[in-house]
């Protein structure tokens, strides 16, 4: 990566405006050479009917973090990223507080990026374990 931690976080939080990430109140909070972390509040707006964190909200957090992380491994003037597959295992229920999604690169190829995203609660307990595959595409010339 050719960006500072501060540049990565500012860019991620900026391009989240007016998107699902803003709706879910996802905030990017940490970054490093091989990871990106975001947090999301757990409240009734992301609950399923039983009052627990909705699995779909967890998956949205995972895909958001993994896709944003891929962006920093490409040339955004010539390439773009598309998520093509995501899987999730939900291991623990949570009703309130925050969850943290940390994406770590498993494979960084020219055309595919594979990420492992661990979603944890405020105590560090694993809530969901996700795997995301992103395709790197050449940006279409208009």
Active site residues: 63
Place of tokens 């020219």: 110
What is the β-pairing status of strands 97-108 and 35-42?
A: antiparallel
Handedness of CA 74, 107, 10, 20 (dihedral sign): positive
What is the β-pairing status of strands 112-120 and 97-108?
A: antiparallel
Distance CA 57, CA 48 (A): 9
């Amino acid at each position: 990566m050719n960006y500072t931690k501060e540049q990565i976080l500012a860019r991620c939080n900026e391009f989240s405006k007016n998107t699902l990430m803003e709706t879910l109140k996802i905030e990017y909070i940490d970054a490093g050479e091989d990871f990106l972390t975001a947090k999301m509040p757990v409240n009734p707006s992301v609950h399923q009917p039983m009052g627990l964190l909705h699995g779909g909200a967890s998956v949205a957090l995972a895909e958001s973090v993994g896709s944003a992380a891929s962006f920093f491994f490409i040339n955004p003037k010539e390439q773009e990223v598309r998520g093509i597959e995501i899987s999730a295992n939900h291991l623990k229920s949570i009703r309130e507080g925050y969850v943290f999604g940390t994406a770590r690169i498993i494979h960084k190829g020219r055309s595919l990026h594979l990420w492992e995203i661990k979603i944890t609660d405020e105590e560090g307990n694993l809530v969901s374990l996700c795997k995301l595959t992103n395709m790197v595409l050449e940006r279409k010339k208009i």
